[in-house]
Amino acid sequence: MAVAIGASIVAPLGASGLVGCGAAADEAAVSHQPSASAGLILTRSNAAAPTTKIPALTAGRFVYRGRSSPPVALGLEVIAAVSGTLSPVAIPADSDARAIVYQGWEQISDPRPSDPKRGVGQGLRVGDPVGVPSVRIFDTETDRDAEVAEGAYSPAVALDGRLAYTQADSPIVRQNLEYVGNIIVRKSPSSPPTSWTSNSARYFPYAWAGSTLLTYRSLPDSEAADLYAYMGPGQAHLLARDAQALAISPDATKVLLSVGGRRLELVRIKDAAITASLPRGRLRSPGLPRASISSALTGGGDWYQDRVVLASDRGLVLLKVGDALRVEAVTALPPSLPNAINEPHFIDQHRIVGWADVGEPRGPTTDEPAYKNALVLCDIKLARCELGNPAPPRDWMRWVVNPSA
């Protein structure tokens, strides 16, 4: 399911690898069937969002069904300021995108370039207020925008309409202080909240796999996070340590993970069993030199039938998923896209949407994104991509995708 919007901060993730059936079977289960690698041809669109039936957000407005909404969020920005790449910035609340759940942000501080010599980040000292996140919902039929929860972030919407998010202990994010809370679940955005955890921590709900909520728990004083499966209040088990979820299987039984920046692992959700994996050194199209190895996965991916698409610094990585994981192709990026086609999402078997940095980086920065960014629509069968009009660095543009299954 996909829709589009402006906003999330993406930090590169160390590339993982994949291989056969169980962690010890690295070489034996890798398929070496030849597969071509093609470069992507890029064309420009005259609109902010390439033409699809998928809604988009540009300059604080949703674009859908041939029209543009009034400004959303009552002047707030639509960005994943707290969760970054660990969860989508906006999610369709239903299959027809009649409503969109998204992350809002009210900036309190005035960001300035960091000064490490003075121990000052963005002109702020430890404990200074930075901003307030919120979970909000936008009705695309009435243009009504409403707050679900203040001091909340990282929403995840199940296919049956359940909404999960983290409710912080205090609404204000403060410079260099832990922002912790508990996982809240509602049967619908308007239903009463139920807490699924009792000990405050840095939780980041990612997505639902059926009735199971996949949630990150960030490690203290670290950017790493462990991934857990929650079946209900206080009912959880560990799926993998130091892991990032990339895609959930269409039948909601498995999740593809990047683990420790070293390998990809296909993990069964009900018992955390590893059913297939692939080492980092195999993330290249068969027959191509080692120089073509993807050295970084930039986060996000999608699973359609038996095929997974991932974003990497070398291009779109296409995998065939079965008893083993096989690299089908790595489609090379055009020179005008300096980093990656991020958060790729299947529209159908051949068409993929995503977003990309474009142009030259600006500087000096205020620890904000340095590049302009644009929405992208690719046809991997034709090896062609259409690029929307770029937006300034702070006006992030994202396809609103739901990684849940």
The pLDDT tens digits of the residues spanning 9-25 come to 233 223 332 222 333 33
- CATH code at 2-401: 2.130.10.10
Share of the chain above pLDDT 90, in %: 53
Q: Rounded mean pLDDT of 134-140?
A: 93
- Which stretches of 219-364 are assigned E, i.e. beta strand? 225-232, 235-240, 243-248, 254-259, 263-268, 274-279, 296-304, 307-312, 315-321, 325-332, 341-346, 351-358
Q: Rounded mean pLDDT of 52-63?
A: 74
CA count, 13 A, side-chain hemisphere, 307: 17
Question: Can you say whether the dihedral through the CA atoms of 306, 251, 279, 351 is positive or negative?
Answer: positive
Predicted confidence at residue 211, as pLDDT, reads 98
Q: What is the pLDDT of residues 67-113, one digit of tens each?
A: 777 777 666 888 889 998 899 888 999 988 889 999 999 999 886 65
Predicted confidence at residue 59, as pLDDT, reads 62
Q: What is the pLDDT of residues 308-325, one digit of tens each?
A: 999 988 889 999 999 999
Q: Which residues is 310 bridged to in the sheet?
A: 301, 317
Residue 39 pLDDT grade (very low, low, confident, very high; cuts 50, 70, 90):
confident
Q: What is the pLDDT of residues 278-312, one digit of tens each?
A: 987 777 655 555 545 556 777 789 999 999 999 98
Chain mean pLDDT for the chain: 83
Q: Which residues is 135 bridged to in the sheet?
A: 103, 149
